[in-house]
Amino acid sequence: MTGEGLRERKKRQTRQHISDIATGLFLEHGFVTVTIADIASAADVSVNTVYNYFGSKEDLFLDREDDAVEWLASAVRGRRAGESPVVAVLRALRAEVVAVSPRVGLIDGYERFMRVIEESQALRSRVFDMRRRATDLVADVLTEEATAAGEESALLPALVAGQLGWIQAYVVEHIQRELVAGRTAAEASRSALVVLDEIEGMLSDRLLEYGTRPAAV
């Protein structure tokens, strides 16, 4: 595999620099107040350069959007032999929580990011759309698998995808509430593990077993 070239590395570094500067400004002054021109000036680049890397302020604040949207479907696609989509997602969420991973918001000070989102209708709408897209991706994966297996119902894949989206959203929102309430990331991690156990205990066997990948022969 060819390594990252100088041009690509400089572009990546410039993108990250602009993103870091923008995040700092948003946290200090609020999302609505800060303009693209403010970000360009603070990052010592032109406005056009900012737009070359980011199409909007929402893109700047949510610069890892693609990874966040894809995470749920990736967990489903990568499930183990003998494992169902729901069990795979629960396992993946537990791994992120145990690792005190920023992917699920487990980072001290993350409540500052949440306050910026709460103060902006545009960001709240964007986050809602990200969750919808993530669920749609899972539904597509499950529908393709169901079709390949000869299943005729399109309802079950959509219902299971919706449930998976809810589980992920609930755990992340629980973590956010804990952090806003003054808990540390480590404390929120321990609390989230309890929530995951409670969620799993409430799920039906049919949901827990749906789409189980055949065990390797």
Other CB atoms closer than 10 Å to residue 214's CB: what's the count? Answer: 8
What is the percent of the chain with per-residue pLDDT over 90, rounded to a whole number?
81
Exposure class string for 75-113: b at 16+ Cβ within 10 A, else e: bbeebeeebbbbbbbbebbbebbeebeebbbbbeebbeb
3-class SS at 83? Answer: coil
* pLDDT, tens digit (0-9, with 9 covering 90-100), for 51-70: 999 999 999 999 888 899 99
pLDDT of residue 1: 44
Comparing 18 with 217, the larger pLDDT belongs to 18
Q: Which CATH number fits domain 6-61: 1.10.10.60, 3.40.630.30, 3.30.530.20, 3.40.1010.20?
A: 1.10.10.60
pLDDT of residue 84: 97
pLDDT of residue 217: 54
* pLDDT, tens digit (0-9, with 9 covering 90-100), for 114-124: 889 988 999 99
C-beta separation of 47 from 36 below 8 A: yes
* pLDDT, tens digit (0-9, with 9 covering 90-100), for 144-162: 999 998 877 778 999 999 9
Q: What are the start-end ranges of the E strands in the chain?
A: none
What average pLDDT does the segment 29-35 reach? 93
* CA–centroid distance for 196 within its chain: 17
Least confident stretch, 8-12, 191-195, 205-209: 8-12
- In terms of Cβ atoms closer than 10 Å to its own Cβ (0-12, 13-18, 19+), residue 155 is exposed
Tokens linked to 8: 């690509």
Q: Where are the domains of the chain?
A: 6-61, 65-209
